[in-house]
């Protein structure tokens, strides 16, 4: 997996949901929270927790988590979590491994595939570039927002 | 479609809707925990009967370089701390780094390094950077939502 910083920063480069975008960023971290982080506390848990890092595991967990919110926003919460997690899994697809790493169609098959562009530990080299790109995009977004507010005032 | 979605996310049978996906996920975890290790043979299994597995080629993962004994020999340890000697050359300064590699098991109990192999030299840094990002995401989320224990749900802050 790329590091979480790469995942979170890359979330700034795409068009984020308008409502409750915080859940989109939680979604970006969700696969690693479920399928990797427990390994810090229990080293041998890899196979047991692996389903948390698969599309089916993320789907099930996002559905369960959505019930921790009010009914009116549950579909938005669910969609945002899934959007974030999908981007996370897509970025993971771009890594190269020596052994099979991600079981995309689990539990139907253990077959694994990837588009091998970089090693998992090389993702930290992207962070400075992603930081700059995210900063530029944030400035552009803020300017657009200010312009819209100013246009609105002039219109009224 | 909208009606179906609203039924799926309504409060009706809320606890069942939470419990059912979690139970399915737990079942998948148990299945993966049992089936997964069978897919990835481990050198500790081979060490139990070295003569039988002599010459077996396999992938080694979740091992850490513990010691470089010389230009052509190093020691790796698995997550449980079980060690095995490896014949092959890796860059110096790789101690305490995770390594994945293809290897040939040889009796009475050592490995011959094959290609491909990769040393995850930035793994620890990756962990620290990820922790910072996780704290950032948590702060971003909690700035917008707070947990109402009585209703057992997150509510948007005003």
Identify whether the C-beta of residue B28 lies closer than 8 Å to the C-beta of residue A56: yes
What band does B2 get if pLDDT is binned at 50, 70 and 90?
Answer: low
Find the CB nearest B32 among A50, A60, A61.
A50
d(CA B109, CA B46): 8
Q: What is the CATH number of domain B43-120?
A: 2.40.50.140
Which residue in chain B has the smallest CA separation from A22?
B141
Least confident of A40-44, A121-125, A127-131, B8-12: A40-44
Contact yes or no for B101 and A98 at CB 8 A: yes
CA A107 – CA A56 distance, rounded (Å): 8
- Secondary structure (DSSP) of B3-23: HHHHHHTSSTTHHHHHHHHHH
* Bridge partners for B120 per DSSP: B98
Tell me the chain B residues in contact with residue A60 when contact means C-beta distances shorter than 8 Å: 21-22, 24-25
- Say yes or no for a CB contact (<8 Å) between A5 and B133: yes
Mean pLDDT of the region B59-81: 91
Interface contact flag, A71 B117, Cβ < 8 Å: no
Inter-chain contact A97–B100, Cβ cutoff 8 Å? Answer: yes
Q: What is the pLDDT of residue A156?
A: 65
pLDDT in tens, A23-65: 999 999 999 999 989 988 888 898 999 999 999 999 999 999 9
Residue B154 is nearest to which of A47, A60, A68, comparing CB atoms?
A: A68
CA-CA distance, A86 to A57, in Å (whole number)?
12
ipTM of the assembly?
0.89
Tens digits of residue pLDDT in A96-118: 988 888 999 999 999 999 999 99
Nearest CA to A3 among A124, A153, A138, A146?
Answer: A124
Give the DSSP letter of residue A156: -
Chain A and chain B share a number of CB contacts under 8 A equal to 143
pLDDT band at B158 (very low <50, low <70, confident <90, very high): confident
Q: What mean pLDDT, rounded, does chain B reach?
A: 91
Contact B126 A22 (CB under 8 A): no
pLDDT at position A1: 62
Q: What pLDDT is attached to residue A31?
A: 96
What is the predicted pLDDT for the residue at B1? 55
User: How do B83-87 and B110-120 pair as beta strands?
Assistant: parallel
For residue A2, the model assigns a pLDDT of 79
| CB-CB under 8 Å, B30 with A100 | no
Question: Where would I find the beta strands (DSSP E) of B19-109?
Answer: 57-70, 73-77, 83-87, 98-106
Domain ranges of chain B: 2-39, 43-120, 123-156
> What's the pLDDT at A143?
93
Q: Is the pLDDT of residue B23 over 60?
A: yes
Mutation site, B1, B22, B28, interface A, largest A CB count within 10 A: B28
| Average pLDDT of chain A, as a whole number | 92
pLDDT value for B100: 92
Choose, out of B4, B6, B25, the residue to mutate when testing the contact with A (most A CBs < 10 Å). Answer: B25
Res. A145: pLDDT tops 90? no
For residue B4, list chain A residues with Cβ-Cβ distance below 8 A. none
- Pick from B25, B80, B130: which is nearest to A60 by CB? B25
Residue numbers in B near A97 (CB within 8 A): 100
């Amino acid at each position: 997996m790329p590091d979480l910083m790469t995942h979170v920063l890359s979330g700034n480069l795409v068009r984020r949901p308008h409502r409750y975008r915080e859940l989109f960023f939680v979604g970006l971290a969700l696969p690693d929270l479920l399928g990797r982080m427990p390994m810090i506390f229990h080293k041998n848990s890899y196979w047991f927790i692996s389903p948390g890092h698969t599309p089916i595991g993320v789907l099930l967990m996002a559905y369960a988590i959505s019930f921790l919110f009010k009914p009116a926003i549950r579909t938005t919460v669910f969609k945002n979590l899934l959007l974030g997690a999908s981007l996370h899994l897509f970025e993971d697809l771009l890594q190269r491994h020596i052994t099979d790493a991600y079981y995309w169609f689990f539990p139907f098959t253990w077959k694994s595939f990837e588009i091998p562009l970089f090693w998992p530990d090389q993702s930290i080299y992207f962070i400075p570039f992603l930081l700059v790109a995210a900063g530029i995009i944030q400035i552009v977004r803020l300017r657009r927002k200010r312009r819209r507010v100013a246009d609105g005032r002039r219109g009224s | 479609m909208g009606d179906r979605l609203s039924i799926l996310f309504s409060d009706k049978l809320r606890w069942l809707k939470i419990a059912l996906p979690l139970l399915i996920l737990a079942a998948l975890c148990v299945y993966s925990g049992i089936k997964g290790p069978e897919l990835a043979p481990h050198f500790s299994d081979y060490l139990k009967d070295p003569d039988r597995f002599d010459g077996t080629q396999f992938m080694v993962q979740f091992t850490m370089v513990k010691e470089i004994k010389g230009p052509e020999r190093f020691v790796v340890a698995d997550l449980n701390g079980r060690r095995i000697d490896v014949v092959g050359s890796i860059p110096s300064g790789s101690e305490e780094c995770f390594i994945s590699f293809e290897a040939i098991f040889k009796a009475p109990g050592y490995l011959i390094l094959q290609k491909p192999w990769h040393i995850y030299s930035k793994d620890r840094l990756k962990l620290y950077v990820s922790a910072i990002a996780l704290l950032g995401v948590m702060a971003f989320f909690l700035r917008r939502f707070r947990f109402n224990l009585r209703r057992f749900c997150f509510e948007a802050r005003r």
